[in-house]
């Protein structure tokens, strides 16, 4: 039973990591053009 708990913890961490990566990509895709505009 303990192994299952560890597994679910790993899965939750993995989900959180994926969400962070997606959020980061979205933020970069929104922010990067603004930065490029301000540099020009």
pLDDT of 1 reads 64
Compute the distance between CA of residue 19 and CA of residue 40 in angstroms, rounded to an integer. Answer: 32
Entry pTM: 0.61
Which residue bears the tokens 């969400």?
A: 19
pLDDT of 3 reads 85
Which residue bears the tokens 């020009």?
A: 40
pLDDT of 24 reads 96
Compute the distance between CA of residue 23 and CA of residue 17 in angstroms, rounded to an integer. Answer: 10
Q: Is 40 helix (H, G, I), strand (E, B) or coil?
A: coil
- What's the token pair of residue 4? 């299952």
């Amino acid at each position: 039973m303990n192994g299952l708990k560890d597994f679910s913890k790993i899965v939750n961490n993995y989900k959180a990591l994926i969400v962070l990566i997606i959020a980061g990509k979205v933020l970069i895709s929104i922010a990067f053009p603004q930065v490029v505009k301000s540099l020009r």
